[in-house]
Amino acid sequence: MTIETCSIEVSGIVQGIGYRPFVYNLATSVGISGTVQNLGDAGVRIIAVGNRDKIISFIEKLKTSKPKLCVYDSFTVKWDVKLSNLPQKFEIIKSSNEKLGAGFSYLPPDIAICDQCVNELLHSEDIRRRNYPFNSCVDCGPRFTVIDKLPYDRPNTVMRDFPFCDECLKDYLSSNDRRFHAQTTCCHYCGPKYLLYDDKGEKLPYSTHSEIVKFVAQQIEAGKIVAIKGIGGTHIACSTKNDETLLRLREVKGKRKYKPFAIMAKDVESILSFAHINEKERELLESFRRPIVLLNKNSNYDLSEWVSPKLHNIGVMLPYAGIHYMLFEHLKDTTIVMTSANPSNYPMFIENDEIISKLPYVDYFLLHDRTIYQRCDDSVLRINNIGNDRYSVKFLRRSRGWVPEPLIAHIDVGNKTLLAVGGEMHLIPSLMKGNRIIPTQHIGTVTLIETFDFMLNAIKHFTDLYQVKIDSIAYDLHPQYLTSTSIDEIRAFFDAKAYSPFQHHKAHIASVALEHHVDPEEEILGLAIDGTGYGDDKTIWGGEIFGGKIYSLERLAHNQRFYLPGGDLAVKHPLRTLLAFLVKNYTDDEILNMIPQISSKQTSEEKIRFILGQLRAEKLPSSFITSSTGRFLDAISVFLNICVEQTFEGEPAIRLESHAYNAKEKEPSIDFQWRGNELNLSDIFPQINEYKKSFSTRAIAYAVQKGLGQSYGQRLNEYAEERGVNKVLISGGVSFNQIIIKNIVKEIDTKRISVLLNEKVSPGDGGISIGQLYLLSLKHLI
């Protein structure tokens, strides 16, 4: 029998998912010898030695029987490899720092605890596993948050602080055990532990995890607030039904007057008692990624109104760590609030001393002693029905469960490494090498030095992980973003050669183009609708129709331009924006008579008259001029007395959509008119004022959003016909709005024109860096 040799090199998601144990067991079952080895860029090399037919069978089974989380990006087979010694058996050998190719390979994200480990946790007779919250195996557990360098081996993770006990080492080395080469393997005797502290930081004398969790569950049900350190950060947990506790939490967290809290539910059946779930939402909820999913409340909703006040939906996730399952074993309620512990715009708290010192309002602290090497917030998604049985996945936040999985681009920058930092809000920077783009975890809004430093360190983690040096950087055109004003510092920090600014809304459109692999030479139409973005003309854009090739988009049309009196003050107090519209059609006295309830809540008559005077004289700076769709929706929200003050980002427009949800009566017709290349907005307000006499505010709210969507769709249809274009790309934060997008799509001739939306990254500013990278890569390639 002729002995042949073969080398198989694979990249993709092949480390951290039990791939080497899978290869080992497959090789021994087929009857070949050889080796399997992790490589330094997260790839894997396999040497197969044996009969050719057996090796061919082995290769085929590598492709068809791979682990459920395995994804191959490349699978290269080379025959007749020269070996100094022929191996006599198959072995998992020591990892190498060698790399396969130019692009990034990658690790899986943090993976929710699997059913087998949950069963052991709750029901096993094995004292090592029962009630042990860090139970994991080759198929589950943390990955991204525990690794500090490649390849993915235990010494390169924070688990090096927890040496195996004899029994865990036996499991780790046994090819018949599902913990065979599972790097996070541990148990009661050798692994991390949870400890409980009171509000003064004193450790409480509970000796077992079961006792600790039972006490915590009792305290939550008694109305206490508990900080729980998890996989990638720290949550605040409390009851979902205790108004007093929730109001206290809103008061002490600051800036949380109405901002919704995410909750965790025991299981899907528990969720169905208060919310609707469609098939796609259920699939996401139960996936190994376990994101927060925005679900529509149902008529039986019985949680406190203060969980998600004045909204039609609620953010819900299922348990994804052992500690969560243990809590629900002791809780009578099947839901708890699980919101981030850090204040808005600050990085997540991950150090035990910091958690205790910076959360003085917390009654108890449930903290573990495993290092969180990388913060990673919960991902948040929404599934929108956009008509014609089409559902669109919308990332509000792409983080835990997805990071560090890459996007695969349709262009290749070779050995160059490009960085895009994004904008300012909801920041998620991204790196590109070859044809792979890796977005970092969610960073947040970068207005504070702490968050800026977190951004730099998060990017550096990836450059260190993949041992790359950044060649060029993309950033936002806005001259006042911290990421823009500090671009020289960022360039110096990474020793990059060059940097380039890109217009905010063009980057939004480019992000859709990259997701859907739109040819850069193809003529497209783009609609960017959001709250804020610095325009080429140095005004604030936010309602723009573009046409052309991705790298040379032309602004074809836009919303009517209007003033934001006071700039950011108008965002906080949208009555100011409303005045900018009303002044076009009414006298000062008419305006004051129209808004007595609104004005008394926000400002005096004298102040309103002063603002109106400025507007009529057009004495405001040009930087206060905008075409923002988000700010227009804010003004509508105020005019209908739905939301008169922004207490969290986007609140007036978000509550406008919620208010229109399930409007029972037939809505009036709102007539938006295009005047040349400008969509008139101010003439909508007299229509609304008249409709207030005979229609509910719910019906009017729905009608405005429907009419706006129709007007965009009609104009896009016209441009597509004029220009011979068959692709429309839509992005920006307002594209979260289901009513608007559904009516845009309804107006477009979808038999002839493809409507493309963000579904792999956020259409909001969390996806900006993807578009910046596409534009930067084209600058390098064209």
User: Distance between CA atoms of 631 and 682, rounded to whole angstroms?
Assistant: 12
Return the pLDDT at 237: 98
The reported pLDDT for the residue numbered 595 is 85
Residue closest to 462 by CA, chosen among 412, 499, 421, 426:
421
Please give the distance of CA 261 from its chain centroid, rounded to a whole number: 16
pLDDT in tens, 386-427: 988 889 999 999 999 999 999 999 999 999 999 999 999 999
Task: Note the pLDDT of residue 448.
Answer: 93
The predicted structure's pLDDT at residue 101: 66
Pick the catalytic residue from 25, 38, 135, 250. 38
**Hey, is 754 helix, strand or coil?**
strand
Residue 543 tokens read as 């309602």
Tell me, what's the pLDDT at 271? 98
Please, what sign has the CA dihedral across residues 613, 619, 621, 627?
Answer: positive
Alpha-carbon gap, residue 527 to 708, rounded angstroms: 13
Side-chain-side CA neighbours of 192 within 13 Å: the count stands at 24
Q: What is the pLDDT of residues 175-206, one digit of tens each?
A: 999 999 999 999 999 999 999 999 999 999 99
Adjacent-strand bridge partners of 695: none
Tokens of 528: 């960017």
Which residues, given as ranges, of the chain have pLDDT below 70? 1, 101-103, 255, 596-602, 782
Alpha-carbon distance of 281 to 328, in angstroms, equals: 22
> Is 38 one of the catalytic residues?
yes
Q: 566, 574 in Cβ contact below 8 A? A: no
Alpha helices in 239-321 (DSSP H): 243-253, 268-271, 279-286
Beta-ladder partners of 12 = 72
Rg of the chain over all Cα atoms, to the nearest angstrom: 28
Tell me, what's the pLDDT at 626? Answer: 96
**Is this model's pTM higher than 0.75 or not?**
yes
Q: What per-residue confidence (pLDDT) applies to 108?
A: 86
The pLDDT value recorded for residue 1 is: 64
Q: Output the pLDDT for position 602.
A: 63
- Amino acid, single-letter form, for residue 569: L
